[in-house]
Amino acid sequence: MDLAGGDLWKEYKAAAQAAGLPILPGEEKEQLATAKKRTPKLSTRSPENLEAMVEHMLSSPERPKTGAAAILP
């Protein structure tokens, strides 16, 4: 916008910044959303625990059969 907006855009941008308003509508919400996305989530799963979870999921009797296992007795 700075390159193609012309003088009117520059005036509007300066006035909005001086008044403490967002330059574009909804900009304040976007800044909050990007701030939330940047916070890393700490994983509480250790590699040993994860391996045990996968092993349990694969040996679970509730696991649906797929492929040839679904057809063969």
Q: What are the structure tokens assigned to 71, written together?
A: 């057809």
Q: What are the structure tokens assigned to 19, written together?
A: 């008044």
Average pLDDT over residues 16-39: 73
Predicted local confidence at residue 24, as pLDDT: 81
At 38-60, the pLDDT tens digits run 555 555 667 778 888 888 888 87
User: Domain extents for the chain?
Assistant: 1-36
List of residues 6+ apart from 9 with CB closer than 8 A: 1, 2
Predicted local confidence at residue 1, as pLDDT: 66
Place of tokens 């007795």: 73
Give the closest residue to 25 by CA, choosing from 38, 12, 34, 35: 12
